[in-house]
Every structure is written in structure tokens, then in C-alpha cells.
Amino acid sequence: MRLRAIIAVLLATTISLAAPPAYAEEIVDPTDACTIGGVAVPEGEAPPADIPVVISCFDSQAEAEAFIEAGAPGDIEQLIGTSQARSASAAAASTVTIGSVWTGLGRTGSVLIHWGTGSGCYGVTYGFPTLPSGWNDNIRSAEGSSNCWASHYQNASYGGQVLTCAPYCSTLSFLNAMSSSIVYRPVGTFG
């Protein structure tokens, strides 16, 4: 379980040194459950210019969810820095699932669970301007969590057509297998 997560992080680190910032080239396996971290940005503020890509994969969705509930150990330090991660108990209290996307319709196939720092979309947003390889243009259902609605965009960096899941979409309809970026926003806020 944790070995797969370490391999994914090492692969992402290796690729980021050899190319412009991008997600690890990982083929999505229908049994995979991966997690990816995001930084809370107060509404109205611009996101940080350089948010590291932190993705870990597990054998099951339950293992991935337990990893987030435990504070995303190892990943949170990469996302927000060791000095901010403080202690294991503080890290566990500061990580929350903000949404999930699946490669199949109606919560089937591989799952990518988005997590963030803080307590969800209470006055903040979480942006993912690009999606990891295997996920870009491969999402068919989605759900926001923790007071978040998920706005899916056709193009990277929040361009093109948009569809907001409020909070759940069993299908992405006209954006089925065409989502390239996601913003998690407070409930009641459309993209």
C-alpha cells in the first residue's frame, strides 16, 4: 500500500525534474484509488504560483480515505512544507476530503480523491488547473464533499465549457471524458 504511494511520489519527483510541472505519467488501473492534495485559497484571492503536485495511490478506496483521515503523512509536508505541517495530530486535523472523481459512470472505475488543508470549502476554494495523466479527459462521474461543489472545465487552467456538480454528477454529461481542470467551490457557487 504505502510502497505504491512512495513509488508514485518518486516518479512524480523524477518527472518534474525532467519536464515542466506535470503529473506523473501513470496509467490508471480500474482498481486504483489515488489521492491528490490541494491548498485552500480564500475566496477572491489568486492561487499560489507554485503548488507542488502530490499524488499517492493505494489498492483500495478505503486505504486512500484512511490515508487522508490520518493527515496524509508524507504528502502534507510536500504540499505545505514541513514547518507548516507541525505534528501528526495537527496534520490529521487539517486534512479533509473535498471531492472525488471516477473513471466510470455512477462512482465506478478508478477513483481520484481530492483532499485539502483546512475544513473544506468554507470561504475558500481549491483549484486543480491540470489533472494527472490517466485522469485528464477520463473522468465520467464526480462529487464534491465537505461543503464543496465541483466545477469541471473542458480545458486546463479553467478554460472552455464548465459543468458544476452540486454536489454529485453520476455522469458529466457534455463533459464526459473531457474534464481537464477542476475547482472546488463553496456550496451555492457555480463555476
What is the arithmetic mean of pLDDT over 138-163? 96
Q: How many CB atoms lie within 10 A of CB 101?
A: 28
- Residue 190's SS3 state is coil
Average pLDDT, the chain: 81
Beta strand 111-117 with 41-42 is: unpaired
| pLDDT for 52 | 81
CATH number reported for the structural domain that contains residue 91 in this entry: 2.60.20.10
Do the domain assignments include residue 32? Answer: yes
Maximal CA-CA distance, the chain: 44
Do the domain assignments include residue 107? Answer: yes
Question: The whole model's pTM is what?
Answer: 0.80
Residue 57 has pLDDT above 70, yes or no: yes
d(CA 120, CA 116): 7
- pLDDT band of residue 111 (cuts 50, 70, 90) is very high
Segment 66-102, tens digit of pLDDT: 999 999 999 998 888 754 544 444 544 579 999 999 9
Percent residues over pLDDT 90 in the chain: 61
Do the domain assignments include residue 100? Answer: yes
Q: How far is CA 6 from CA 69, 73, 187, in A?
A: 18, 11, 34
β-partners of residue 37 are: 115
| pLDDT for 49 | 66
Kindly give, in sequence order, each residue whose CB lies less than 8 Å from that of residue 21, ignoring residues fewer than 6 positions away: 50, 53
Choice among 12-16, 72-76, 171-175, 184-188 with the minimum mean pLDDT: 12-16
d(CA 184, CA 153): 11
Report the helix count and the strand count for the chain, using DSSP H and E: 5, 11
Domain that holds residue 121: 2-186
Residue 41 has pLDDT above 60, yes or no: yes
| pLDDT for 106 | 97
Do the domain assignments include residue 191? Answer: no
Structurally, the chain folds into a number of domains equal to: 1
Segment 7-30, tens digit of pLDDT: 333 333 333 333 333 333 445 554
Do the domain assignments include residue 26? Answer: yes
| pLDDT for 151 | 96
Segment 131-145, tens digit of pLDDT: 988 899 999 999 999
| pLDDT for 93 | 56
CA atoms 32, 135, 182, 8: torsion sign:
positive
Do the domain assignments include residue 48? Answer: yes
| pLDDT for 141 | 98
